């Protein structure tokens, strides 16, 4: 007899028949250290266990040994699926090559990791601020003139974002050509983008958590001291109900990027909401506190619906 509530799936082994208890590996960044950072994997593990799935949290290390598959083949032999909470984009590809289903999928992690790729994938599908990839300069010289021409076209100030960044730390505002030239010089070897500044949204945005394409939690974030409203930049959250417009954006983003789970940042534009960025591994501790929504439970429920299709 299996414990009540154990997630059973029809066995696919050569022996045929019988049932198999589903096992999940939750992969996290190997450098997590604080209790707050471990909150997310711990809660997902608890919610999966509550649904009868055996869940183990492991550091995302030693997976990425191409050719000799390192731990990837061991993981795929020992676990039925993986909840991937890291941002590294190589391990997911290697795990998928070993036949493992990842939540989120490798392609979704890649498209969200790079803000410019996210923009390109969603262009024409959801409203977004006007955005250009910044010219990169790999040799002696400067891309500042080209960047200034883009700034003139967008209007000042201009938002400058490194394509890879989090917590608002790699997001800047260039008020004029001189500030943009200084940023261009500093970032000339790193992929970055130039974006229309949405002045109506300065210091405020909306964070939406989407699970299986559905907006399950939503908060407005406001910072009195910075145009960036990330909680890490001093933003404070308040719960809001997702409107039909917000629900439709969450659905389109999730479907287009094939996301099981994501955090979506939206800006308040003059004519409606504008997509700012999509996080495939958004932390949910803050939004759970603000809204009271059990995001971990919603995600575990979605995962169980998906694995029932295996
Ligand atoms: N184009 C923009 N116009 C106005 N504010 C912006 C714009 N882009 C970003 N912001 C502000 O900066 C914050 C951080 O930007 P975001 O792209 O979400 O980067 P991060 O990945 O670091 O969170 C946003 O939450 C928003 O408050
Ligand atoms: Mg953000």
- Annotated domain spans of the chain: 8-105+301-307, 112-126+200-291, 131-197
Q: What is the pLDDT of residues 286-310, one digit of tens each?
A: 999 999 999 999 999 999 999 999 8
Q: Return the residue matching tokens 């990330």.
A: 230
**What ligand 1 atom has the least distance to the C-alpha of 198?**
3
Decide whether any atom of ligand 1 lies within 6 Å of the 198 Cβ. yes
Q: Which CATH class is domain 112-126+200-291?
A: alpha beta
Q: What is the CATH number of domain 131-197?
A: 3.30.1490.20
Q: Which helix (H) or strand (E) holds 39?
A: helix 35-50
Distance (angstroms) between ligand 2 centre and the Cα of 113 equals 11
Q: Whose CA is nearest to atom 2 of ligand 1?
A: 197
Distance (angstroms) between ligand 2 centre and the Cα of 168 equals 6
Prior bond of 246 cis (ω within 30°): no
Give Cβ neighbours of residue 31 (< 8 Å, ≥ 6 apart). none
Whole-model pTM: value is 0.93
What confidence score (pLDDT) does residue 12 get? 44
Of 61-65, 98-102, 171-175, 259-263, which gets the smallest average pLDDT? 61-65
Distance (angstroms) between ligand 2 centre and the Cα of 98 equals 32
Task: Report how far residue 268's alpha carbon sits from residue 275's, in angstroms, rounded to the nearest whole number.
Answer: 9
Decide whether any atom of ligand 1 lies within 6 Å of the 263 Cβ. no
Task: Report how far residue 279's alpha carbon sits from residue 209's, in angstroms, rounded to the nearest whole number.
Answer: 9
Q: What is the pLDDT of residues 226-239, one digit of tens each?
A: 999 999 899 999 99
Q: What is the pLDDT of residues 25-78, one digit of tens each?
A: 999 998 999 999 999 999 999 999 999 999 999 998 866 555 555 677 788 889
Topology given in CATH for the domain delimited by 8-105+301-307: Rossmann fold (3.40.50)
Distance (angstroms) between ligand 1 centre and the Cα of 245 equals 20
Residue 12: count of CB within 10 angstroms of its CB: 9
């Amino acid at each position: 007899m299996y414990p009540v509530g154990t997630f059973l799936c029809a066995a696919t082994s050569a022996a045929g028949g019988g049932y198999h208890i589903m096992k999940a590996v939750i992969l996290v960044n190997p450098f997590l250290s604080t209790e707050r950072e471990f909150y997310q994997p711990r809660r997902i593990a608890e919610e999966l266990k509550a649904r009868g799935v055996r869940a183990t949290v492991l550091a995302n290390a030693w997976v990425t040994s191409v050719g000799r598959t390192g731990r990837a083949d061991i993981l795929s032999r020992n676990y039925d699926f993986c909840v991937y909470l890291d941002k590294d984009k190589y391990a997911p590809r290697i795990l998928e090559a070993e036949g493992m289903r990842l939540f989120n999928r490798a392609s979704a992690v890649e498209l969200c990791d790079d803000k410019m790729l996210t923009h390109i994938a969603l262009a024409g599908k959801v409203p977004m601020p006007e955005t250009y990839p910044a010219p990169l300069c790999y040799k002696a010289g400067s891309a500042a003139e080209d960047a200034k021409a883009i700034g003139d076209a967008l209007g000042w100030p201009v938002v400058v974002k490194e394509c890879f960044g989090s917590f608002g730390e790699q997001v800047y505002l260039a008020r004029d050509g001189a500030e943009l030239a200084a940023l261009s010089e500093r970032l000339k070897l790193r992929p970055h983008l130039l974006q229309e500044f949405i002045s109506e949204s300065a210091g405020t945005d909306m964070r939406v958590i989407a699970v299986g394409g559905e907006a399950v939690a939503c908060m407005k974030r406001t910072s009195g001291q910075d145009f960036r409203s990330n909680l890490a930049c001093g933003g404070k959250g308040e719960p809001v109900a997702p409107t039909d417009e917000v629900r439709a954006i969450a659905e389109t983003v999730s479907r287009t990027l094939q996301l099981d789970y994501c955090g979506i940042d939206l800006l308040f534009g003059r004519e409606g909401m504008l997509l700012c960025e999509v996080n495939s591994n958004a932390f949910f501790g803050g939004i759970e506190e603000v809204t009271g929504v059990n995001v971990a439970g919603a995600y575990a429920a979605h995962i169980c619906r998906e694995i029932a299709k295996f």
